[in-house]
Chain A
Amino acid sequence: MRGAVPCRRGAGGARAMAAGGRGWFRALALGVSFLKCLLIPAYYSTDFEVHRNWLAITHNLPLSQWYYEATSEWTLDYPPFFAWFEYVLSHIAKYFDPQMLVVENLNYASRATIFFQRLSVIFTDTLFIYAVHECCRCINGKRAAKDILEKPTFILAVLLLWNFGLLIVDHIHFQYNGFLFGLMLLSVARVCQKRYLEGALLFAVLLHFKHIYIYVAPAYGVYLLRSYCFTANNADGSLKWRSFSFLHVTLLGLIVCLVSALSLGPFLVLGQLPQVISRLFPFKRGLCHAYWAPNFWALYNAMDKALTILGLKCNFLEGTKIPKASMTGGLVQEFQHTVLPSVTPLATLICTFIAILPSVFCLWFKPQGPRGFLQCLVLCALSSFMFGWHVHEKAILLAILPLSLLSIQRAKDAGIYLILATTGHFSLFPLLFTTPELPIKILLMLLFTVYSFSSLKSLFRREKPLLNWLETIYLIQLVPLEIFCEIIFPLTPWKRHFPFVPLLLTSVYCALGITYAWLKLYVSVLTERIPVRQKAE
């Protein structure tokens, strides 16, 4: 196994890395930050207004009104810590342009507002940069890489800092994922460094910043229980039940409860908890987002549509009985299935649960230290992406970023990473649909993809090729797909009648790749042998 994760390098080693590595790491971090600054005048989505509105809400209204205010349609639907974060930002914002803090100023976007909001994303990304630095420290790769460009830590830093998805989602589309992923990676790094309490604390805080991270909570829960609450293993790696530590469980519980109390406590006292919860989990939205995230349900919908057309052709179905909305594709939120049974939120919940279960079992019964934890984390994120209710395409980053950590350690994971990252990032393309941003998204995507392929290839050049011919063909096909969707299709007469076709094609094609990557990762995790070198300490 190449470059295992055993962490906590000696202090000397860490210092040596810091001394030799400070220069290139700083250059990478600064470089990407300047690039982010250049993107300030670029297009931004409605999420920009969402966050401006939250700034205004938290700045002007008392705590009791935060989750009730509904002047704008973009109501506050993130957990309280994020609201507090906006509250803090708003106190800086007032020096830039106080007008942006007026709740009634809908769609207000003065230059100062844009400048402030964009800069706030860039500056909070510092946490992400720090987290990447910590992650690089806890990965010790090949010891003697002469060329700095072939050091695993260097490659990891680029893959994380220059991640295409994060760049376009945060710095063009506009969101604050950077520092949230920073918190997650930092907690991962802490867990890998065996500083479990810190890791748990960070993750608990993260959950109260954005609740989407609850998808990966099972991995945290099981891993902390297995490695922290039980302090020892038997000689064969199985669990030693008697090593259960009440102290550790109490500490963990205390941390989680304290953080939750800090976050939700005020609303509990105000008696607003149900309102907060209903804002956080809006099950009124449809199964899929307006643009289908490339997951299992995209395939399901496409199958339904194909069967409908087939049915109409062969006269199994009557045209009059078919609901209108089913033929407008991804344009409406509600998708009515015609042939296949409709999907309820409960069904997706059960599917997600079942999909996550094996990975969690695997983490419990085949402990492999931090590597197993990371694998389980990625599988949890991917499984919930595959089967979740109303999944956004952006959620794929939740799997891609942690998988970067695995990709530089084993050739097998690197292959999966390349498939997942390329298709996942490609599926983000419809986020930016404005023409001035077209070149930038293509250039950035090429930059990231060329880098990830060439660097991982050179890292594992002694092993068999990372991708087989089928996978290669699949990935190359993305190029004609993009050309068709962005250039050829708008010129054809179908554009007016079937405007959803490019989105549908992108979604379904990417769904294939992501499903494949998910299955491949699952198979590789389940069939992996346990290294017998686990010591019974």
Chain B
Amino acid sequence: MEKWSLMALTVLLALTVRWAVSLGSYSGAGKPPMYGDYEAQRHWQEITYNLPIRQWYFNTSDNNLQYWGLDYPPLTAYHSFVCAYIAKLINPDWVALHTSRGYESQPHKLFMRTTVFVADLLVYIPAVILYCFSLKETSAKKKVSSALCILLYPGLILIDHGHFQYNSVSLGLALWAVLCLSHDWDLLGSVAFCLALNYKQMELYHSLPFFCYLLGKCFKKGLKGKGLVLLAKLAGTVLVSFAACWLPFGTDVEQIMQVLRRLFPIDRGLFEDKVANIWCSLSVLIKIKNVISPRTQLKLSFAVTFLSLLPACIKLTVQPSLRGFKFALVSCALSFFLFSFQVHEKSILLVSVPVCLIINEIPFMATWFLLVSTFSLLPLLLKDELLLPYAATTPAFLAACLASFSILEKTSAEDLQLKAFSLSLKGYVSWFKSFPRIVRGLAYLLWKKYPQAPLPPWQLREDGKGLWSRNWKDIGGEHSSVSTLQQFLIKQQNFHLFLRI
């Protein structure tokens, strides 16, 4: 079959899965008084449509910041505004000031789902398709199968189309930026990345590799000639795109400061809920949150994050290469995820998407990581009653990866690109010879652990608060063992990726 028809089938399949997932429940469905992310997005539409732009980020009588106040950068607010405009055309009740709070109905759900679907279709999917087509030294079939695996990655689908968020926009914009950089359109790439950053501040996780890669490129061209020109151009582009995004807020400094305060709340604590990062897993042993003061926590996490970022960034600046850039994206995002302050479990998506980019280079490790990252979202998904889509999409994704990369056959040290590493270690640790076997064994254990719901999910739904969810909350032991497993796996991944770059 021709390449285009295979790609069309891939996209259609991805879209079908997305829409099928969106038929399910969403975050905070029917749970007053706070509801969930779905209501947050709807509320932002209400705020942005009804209030003047100067009040969006301020606590006023019409805008109670305690109730899902806007805490994303301006582009999200503009997006909400556009959606609200369409919503108003269909049914004014959906965005009416005050009265629409907690509005839920079948048509409204359909509308909200459609907005995510359209955003995904317009931003993320084309970026993935173009990225896969631009992969070098691969057959057409491999390109299509990479696209299939990336588009079927369950984590993003479940969070965006199940839980309800617009991550595909910011991640898609970041992908566009990567795509532009790989074609040497540096200015366009930095515009795309600025847009991503202005859509979601979490894109800061990716900012250092972009910065270091571009800086390294300037160094390479010579800081006195072409490099300086490029650097100036880049700086100008970034400034202009930021200015354009923040234009309506540029009227006075207090506006900007207030937005920034909303974007980076430091009083929220070291981590939230169950995040598969260092701080959360350490708290099984030491309750860091109680021992150290919040200020020190902030400094500590900042210092550790910075230290863990340093090697990758230095290497990328000194030797800027596209391949290194992709790996650095993974590594830096992981460092942020593992060590930084106030991490959400959803932030793992910022790591997963760069991992998707290298799935054709290290299929086994990437698939493994993507599965674990989805698994780490499980507590959140259970809360949203999304166990069923999780249980359906994850094995399907695994099947797709198995079929397209035959990952289980390529687990030798060379295939995992760990040859140099294992050789250097072999002298010291004799058991390292069996490394591939351990990797395989661990993967097997992990997959064994997936179908672990002891109770059928409907029992969970009957009384709203089924046994399952209670287990997760109350029985610390169980939770921490699962979370420790996740953390162990994720850390190990980080270690490997780290060594490679």
Contacts and interface: CB of A to CB of B under 8 A. Distances in A.
B100 interface: no
B12 A30 contact: no
B96 interface: no
A35 B15 CA distance: 12
B314 interface: no
Interface string A31-73: 1001101111110000000000000000000000000000000
Contacts of A112: 456, 458, 462
Chain B interface size, under 10 / 10 to 19 / 20 to 34 / 35 or more: 35 or more
Interface stretch (B185-193, B248-256, B354-362, B389-397): B389-397
B296 to A, nearest CB: 47
Contacts of A492: none
A31 B399 contact: yes
Contact of B16 (A30, A37, A444): A444
Instruction: In the A-B complex, list the 3 residue pairs whose CB atoms are closest, starting with the nearest.
Output: A454-B5, A38-B20, A37-B392
A111 B462 contact: yes
A149 B12 CA distance: 18
Contacts of B17: 35, 38
B341 to A, nearest CB: 37
A451 interface: yes
Contact of B117 (A24, A31, A439): A439
Interface string A347-365: 0000000000000000000
Nearest to A32: B396
B388 interface: yes
A436 B110 contact: yes
A240 B129 CA distance: 62
B402 A450 contact: no
Contact of A39 (B23, B106, B113, B402): B23
A458 interface: yes
Contact of B20 (A23, A24, A39, A451): A39
B247 interface: no
17 contacts: A23-B403, A26-B399, A34-B393, A34-B396, A40-B388, A41-B23, A111-B462, A149-B6, A436-B110, A436-B113, A439-B19, A440-B23, A443-B12, A446-B12, A451-B9, A454-B5, A455-B1
Interface in A433-478: 435-436, 439-440, 443-444, 446-447, 450-451, 453-455, 458
A156 to B, nearest CB: 15
Contact of A450 (B5, B107, B396, B457): B5
Interface in B398-418: 399-400, 402-403
A371 B445 CA distance: 49
Mostly, the A contact residues are helix
A37 B388 contact: yes
B137 interface: no
B484 to A, nearest CB: 29
Nearest to B10: A447
B2 interface: yes
Given A439-B19, A439-B117, A451-B9, 13 more contacts: A34-B396, A35-B392, A38-B20, A38-B392, A39-B23, A112-B462, A115-B457, A149-B6, A447-B12, A450-B5, A454-B1, A454-B5, A454-B6
A149 B458 CA distance: 39
A198 interface: no
A435 B16 CA distance: 15
Mostly, the B contact residues are helix
Nearest to B13: A447
Interface of A: 23-24, 26-27, 30-31, 34-35, 37-42, 96, 111-112, 115, 149-150, 435-436, 439-440, 443-444, 446-447, 450-451, 453-455, 458
A115 B391 CA distance: 14
B420 to A, nearest CB: 32
Contacts of B304: none
Given A41-B24, A440-B16, A446-B12, A30 B395 contact: yes
B21 interface: yes
A5 to B, nearest CB: 24
Interface in B11-50: 12-13, 15-17, 19-21, 23-25
B8 interface: yes
B403 A27 contact: yes
Contact of A115 (B9, B15, B458): B458
Contacts of A26: 399
Contacts of A447: 9, 12-13, 16
B389 A38 contact: yes
A30 B9 CA distance: 17
A429 to B, nearest CB: 16
Contacts of B107: 435
Interface in B73-113: 106-107, 110, 113
Contacts of B233: none
A174 to B, nearest CB: 15
B402 to A, nearest CB: 7
Interface string B469-492: 000000000000000000000000
A435 B23 CA distance: 11
Interface string B414-441: 0000000000000000000000000000
B299 interface: no
A451 B12 CA distance: 10
Given A111-B461, A115-B458, A443 B15 contact: yes
B20 A35 contact: yes
Given A31-B396, A454-B1, A443 B458 contact: no
Nearest to B457: A115
Nearest to B403: A27
Contacts of A450: 5, 8-9, 12
Contacts of A35: 16-17, 20, 392, 396
Nearest to A37: B392
A440 B20 contact: yes
